[in-house]
Amino acid sequence: MRGSRIAGMGHFVPENIVTNDHLAALMETSDEWIAKRTGIRERRWVVGDVGATDLAVPAVEQALAEAGMTAADLDMIIFATLSPDVNFPGSSCLLQARLAVPGIATLDIRNQCTGFVYGLSVADQFIRTGAMKTVLVVGAEVHSSGLDISTRGRDVAVLFGDGAGAAVLTATEGDNRLIDSALHADGTDYEILMLEAPASRLNPRFTPEMFEQGRHYPQMVGQAVFKHAVKRLPEVIDEVLSRNGATIDDVALMVPHQANLRINEMVARMIGIDSSKVYNNIQRYGNTTAASIPIALHEAVQEGRVKSGDLVLLAAFGAGLTWGANLIRW
């Protein structure tokens, strides 16, 4: 039966390292507060005018090289981001232009931290049906230019970093494949994590008063998001494992979304997976939203943490609220 496998991956982060001490010079915070509550020690922030597509390009070049392909082999580009280069068109179109492959299908995914998990599933569906043979899935974010780096925004600003990750999915008849994905959303409480303006529901969409109020910055009710994560991640992990006849003991490596080390440690305890089988790099990158899973997965592969035939579990949650998981036979 036709399915899809990851033929190559790439990732890219900006050179500029911003430590917790750097942030403490900009706002009332401390290395101790940030590290204790989130595990984050440093993150990468772009310098100057750099968009999500600029970070995506080197990640994609690496993924294509790893797959032994060129952009001409792609049938479709899926781009997951909450920080598109421009409001419209989608960054998938900008990336397609940079890769010089006019004519192929493009799609932007607006599912925030769950964006890459959704993207893998969408690519897999197109490949399974035979509509596409090879699909590029990208997660890329530039958060730093959209954060309130004063004390007013400290609860959010310390969490996020910039970066990009990419995977090339291609058709296979073999067992090494994306086995299944579980995707969910519940928009009831969308306001607990959102960036409101400019907004089509407001007329005008943006005013000097809104700028003063900081309504163009992300707003978050941190504890509510934390509770969502530790409830939904175990649920969706159980769902994707049990409906494929697997248990957590079968998983060789879990790569959870990198939002908070405490969340990932708590979820690992709840589902009963040894911490040695959970890959975390939030300490170095912060939360890179749609880019966090492909960056972490590719680093894990490069470090030799994944070998052919391993069962790999990806799981994410985020704004929306959204959550999901992918189960992969590597």
Contacts to ligand COA from residues 204-233, by CB under 6 A: 220, 222-223, 225-226, 229
Q: Is 260 in the site for ligand COA (CB under 6 A)?
A: yes
**Residue with smaller CB distance to ligand COA, 58 or 222:** 222
Q: Is 265 in the site for ligand COA (CB under 6 A)?
A: no
**Before 58, cis peptide (omega within 30)?**
no
Which residues fall within 8 angstroms of residue 223, CB to CB, at 6 or more apart? none
Query: Exactly one of 158, 268, 296, 315 binds ligand COA (CB under 6 A); which one?
Result: 158
**Residue with smaller CB distance to ligand COA, 206 or 226:** 226
Q: Is 115 in the site for ligand COA (CB under 6 A)?
A: no
Give the helix ranges, DSSP H, for the chain: 20-24, 31-38, 52-67, 91-99, 115-129, 154-157, 208-213, 222-242, 261-271, 282-285, 292-302
Q: Is 77 in the site for ligand COA (CB under 6 A)?
A: no
Q: How far is the CB of 173 from ligand COA (least distance, A)?
A: 36
Token code pair at residue 228: 């969502």
Query: Exactly one of 154, 232, 298, 329 binds ligand COA (CB under 6 A); which one?
Result: 154
Q: Is 198 in the site for ligand COA (CB under 6 A)?
A: no
φ and ψ of 159, to 5 deg: -85, -30
Inter-residue contact 98 to 303 (CB < 8 Å): no
Q: Is 189 in the site for ligand COA (CB under 6 A)?
A: no
Neighbours of 148 (CB within 10 A): 17
Neighbours of 275 (CB within 10 A): 11
- The residues of the shown chain that bind ligand COA, judged by CB under 6 A, are 29, 33-34, 37-38, 113, 154-155, 158-159, 193, 220, 222-223, 225-226, 229, 259-260, 287, 318
